Amino acid sequence: MTGRSRFVAVWRRVLGLSWPVMAEQVLRTMMRTTDIIVTGLFSPAAVAAIGLADLYARLPLRIGLGLGGGAIALSSQDTGGGATANRDEAVTQAILVGAVSGVPFVLFGLLVAEPAIALLGAPENVARMGGSYLTVIFLTAPARHVSLVAARSLQGTGDTRTPMYVNVVSNVLNIGGTVGLGLGLGPFPELRIVGVGVATAVGNLFTAVVLVLAIAFGVTRTSFTRPRNRTITKQLLAVSAPRIGEGFAATAAEFPFNAILLSFGTDVNAAFQIGRRVYQQVTGPLSRGYSVASSVVVGQALGDGDPDRARFEGWATTALGLLTVGGIGVVLFLAAEPLARIFTSDPATLRYAADFARVYGLAAPFLVSFVVLAGALQGGSDTKTPFIARTSGMFVFMVGFSWVVGVHFQYGIVGVYAGIILYYVWALAVVGMGFYRGNWATRAAAMMEERGSSDGT
């Protein structure tokens, strides 16, 4: 095949794998967008409350995505190598670990949700609203873990449609519940910000239960089995740990970063939540879809014993992401203010929200390339390089640079804008070098040999 035809073939496969993920993420981001719109009808303080609560709510998300990263790496490699027994055991173990690891968050939500929001420097009314929302969300943390791990496990086998079908229904229910319970429409009581949380919690439970039933009753390509292989456990945790650490570090960096934003005013913090939401709504689904697809194609190529194909398909997927999401970033930069106006009519908040949306538009080419290459490395069982890239970038640039330039040298919010862009430039440079020069293909082959997957068992 010529170089052009190889690119086209990879792009077709990537789009076939990624469009269900994109469709699912469109509704997922629309659900979160609906949360912001509904809370925005209450007050800017309510938007800040849900934004600050989400800092903590991302912790179970990070664990679920981390375990899902380990599951998608092992399931994609074992699918490519025909090792279905090992794949099923990896999926089973990942889901069990996910369910158990969600229990501490239930206790956290019940005991210290409101003080945790107040710890961030939030005013009393913001802490009260945010604490109520967080308590409801954390009650379904185990279900959130299970839904994320189960979805990634199935995606690793090449089945991206089953998670899409389940999550589409879940997100539609979530959106309807947010509007109904938040605003008290129709037969629903007006629970305001608590209603928004209840809708999300119900969606988490629905997704987890249906995906588990689909795997248990043979609807999917994988099935549950009794865990026996400790090597699989060790490898699952080894691949997942840096991914979880990356998520925790990113969440930890969000705390001082949001404190920096709050130092400029509540309206600036609310504007950041809105500006980032605008970006995530219009580009997040594509980026997530390409990331999952790159993990699958790279992992399955390695499972098939073809590291050269894995490298080519990783770069080809990155090029597709750069072409599409990079182009959307330009549109976002030009249409930032009308898009931000959907979320708020407050003049000061709107002005800053539009600026944050423009910043993310400029960062889009770097961000999508980083996400896709991180997904490719994940398919090769390398989650340490993305961990280093994201952690160093957030603390050095998004937090450190923003504080030094924006606060210490008093350049204001402009320093924060620059810190965000520099973060993604740095993260891309690190993962790009890791994918180009790293030994991830050799390491993945050795891990497959160790767990007995190289002989198709």
Q: Is 150 in contact with 95 (CB distance < 8 Å)? A: yes
Q: Which segments of 264-346 does DSSP mark as H helices, in order? A: 266-303, 307-334, 336-341
| Burial track 299-319 (b if 16+ CB lie within 10 A, e otherwise) | bbbbbeeebebbbbbbbbbbe
Residue 378: its pLDDT value, please? 94
**44-80 and 103-118 helices, crossing angle to 10°:** 150
Q: Side chain identity at 206, as an amino acid letter?
A: F
**193-216 and 3-40 helices, crossing angle to 10°:** 140
Residue 374: its pLDDT value, please? 96
Give me the long-range contacts of 31-35 (CB less than 8 A, separation at least 24): 31/171, 31/174, 31/175, 31/178, 31/200, 31/203, 32/277, 32/280, 33/277, 33/281, 33/343, 34/175, 34/178, 34/179, 35/178, 35/196, 35/200
Rounded distance, CA 455 to CA 84, Å?
Answer: 11
Rounded distance, CA 455 to CA 440, Å?
Answer: 20
Strand positions, DSSP E, 20-105? none
Residue 1: its pLDDT value, please? 59
| Residues in Cβ contact with 212 at an 8 Å cutoff, skipping those fewer than 6 apart | 95, 146, 150
Q: Is 173 in contact with 179 (CB distance < 8 Å)? A: no
How many Cα atoms are found within 13 Å in the side-chain-facing hemisphere of 132? 14
Mean pLDDT (10-residue bins), the chain, 457 residues: 80 93 83 81 81 84 90 91 89 92 92 87 82 92 94 91 92 90 84 88 94 92 87 91 89 86 86 85 87 94 93 95 93 90 83 92 95 95 95 95 92 93 97 94 91 70
Q: Side chain identity at 210, as an amino acid letter?
A: V
Rounded distance, CA 289 to CA 14, Å?
Answer: 9
| Residues in Cβ contact with 410 at an 8 Å cutoff, skipping those fewer than 6 apart | none
Nearest to 291 by CA among 227, 383, 178: 383
CB atoms within 10 A of CB 439: 11
Q: Distance of CA 252 to CAs 59, 141, 313, 366, Å?
A: 9, 19, 33, 22
Q: Side chain identity at 128, as an amino acid letter?
A: R
Provide the token pair at 368.
């999508």
